[in-house]
Structure 1
């Protein structure tokens, strides 16, 4: 039987979705390959994703900066602060996993995916600068900043008679990747608002770009935001995230 707190969180999310969207959308963690050569640019294609069974009840977003003040002996007040640089943005959240009905190893497999995000990818392990997978937290019209996973803590709370974990609470901490990232303001470290669109029969990215921006040539921005390599082979019914005009202006896309 599912945890009451988990079901309560899902119920709250459902009520909110009905007010803002006709369809309840679940959050997921998109796992992307590091960019070739370890450059600070747009991440590689989508390699995997970890689906949330229940939407998180809260997200904690942190952004700090380094400042320095010069003090003088005779001054009654401190000097004006000097900006020394921005710290990477951080996002923390909880993920509830439950397989108490199926009694299978799906909880363990999802936790292993999260743990794998804390180590360098196989493709970069033998390079001079090994890189972890890039991840992006997505939830309907919200998309997080490109990040890497710094901490995963899994607390198993239910087991089968044979000792297989079938319920867990995972605490996940993400830290913003540095440098210029295409389609994202690297200094904001914020959650950007994007619209979600389900692809209809006969619809193309160019048609979607024309309807969204009034410019069909901006289909590349939609392709990049969704990790699409071949825009001619898109399955009907796929949910696409459409970047806002503000995001395109910040990233210089289009």
Structure 2
């Protein structure tokens, strides 16, 4: 027996609701990416890349819905509105609910970011009986979850760091402390009076935070 894909509602007034798709998707796309800041250094042929953050993963697919022949009053919108309704703001959450798309080993948790509905067949009464939905889910992770997933060296102990060409103290502070404003702590620990004049190849002391 073929397992049907399900959209589970995780939060809000519909929490616990499971919406079964009428037909499993023929394919789906998972998108991942990273965001970089590019810094131009005079004298270099190419800019220096600084990692800023990862981009939010997304899941996209096309869902087919068909209720032709169910009854004289059949209307496929009775099915599409169950999914479209997950874009609406929940009165308790003041935001759309979190959902999870589950199909076999695929379990994608987040929100429905966008939905396009295309109605392609109509009954004699003018009711749509066939539709195609293009759905995009966007993953949602809290700050705590993200820090648990990223192994980091603790900022509460002193470290050494080799100064590379193109490095700036604010960039190092952002990388080590996640706060570019703490560049002064690094400057003070290394006796740097002018942060714009840094010697490539120098070993910097990265002080622990009190």
Q: Which TM-score band (shorter chain)?
A: 0.5 to 0.7
Correspondences of 1:1-254 after superposition (within 5 Å):
23-34=1-12, 46-79=15-48, 81-103=49-71, 104-105=73-74, 107-124=76-93, 130-144=94-108, 146-180=109-143
Larger Rg: 2
Unaligned runs of 5+ in 2: 151-210
Asked if structure 1 preserves the Cα contact closer than 8 Å seen for 2:110 and 2:137, the reply is yes
Asked if structure 1 preserves the Cα contact closer than 8 Å seen for 2:117 and 2:131, the reply is yes
Deviations along 1:20-45, one digit per CA (max 9) or x if unpaired, are xxx421112112215xxxxxxxxx98
Higher helix share goes to which structure?
Answer: 1
Deviations along 1:130-169, one digit per CA (max 9) or x if unpaired, are 221111111022211x211111111111111111111111
Q: Which runs of 4+ in 1 moved over 4 A?
A: none
TM-score with structure 2 length normalisation? 0.62
2-structure distance, mates of 1:100, 1:48: 25
In structure 2, the CA distance between the partners of 1:186 and 1:88, relative to structure 1 (3 Å rule), is farther
Aligned equivalent of 1:10? none
Aligned equivalent of 2:193? none
Unaligned runs of 5+ in 1: 1-22, 35-43, 125-129, 188-254
2-structure distance, mates of 1:170, 1:136: 17
TM-score with structure 1 length normalisation? 0.52
Secondary structure at the residue paired with 1:161? coil
Secondary structure at the residue paired with 2:83? helix
Count residues in correspondence.
147
Asked if structure 1 preserves the Cα contact closer than 8 Å seen for 2:117 and 2:132, the reply is yes
Displacement after TM superposition at 1:46 (Å): 3.9
Displacement after TM superposition at 1:106 (Å): 5.8
Aligned-residue CA RMSD in angstroms?
A: 2.4
Deviations along 1:193-219, one digit per CA (max 9) or x if unpaired, are xxxxxxxxxxxxxxxxxxxxxxxxxxx
Secondary structure at the residue paired with 1:74? coil
Asked if structure 1 preserves the Cα contact closer than 8 Å seen for 2:75 and 2:127, the reply is no
2-structure distance, mates of 1:181, 1:71: 34
Asked if structure 1 preserves the Cα contact closer than 8 Å seen for 2:75 and 2:128, the reply is no
Asked if structure 2 preserves the Cα contact closer than 8 Å seen for 1:62 and 1:91, the reply is yes
Asked if structure 2 preserves the Cα contact closer than 8 Å seen for 1:180 and 1:186, the reply is no
Secondary structure at the residue paired with 1:64? strand
2-structure distance, mates of 1:49, 1:180: 27
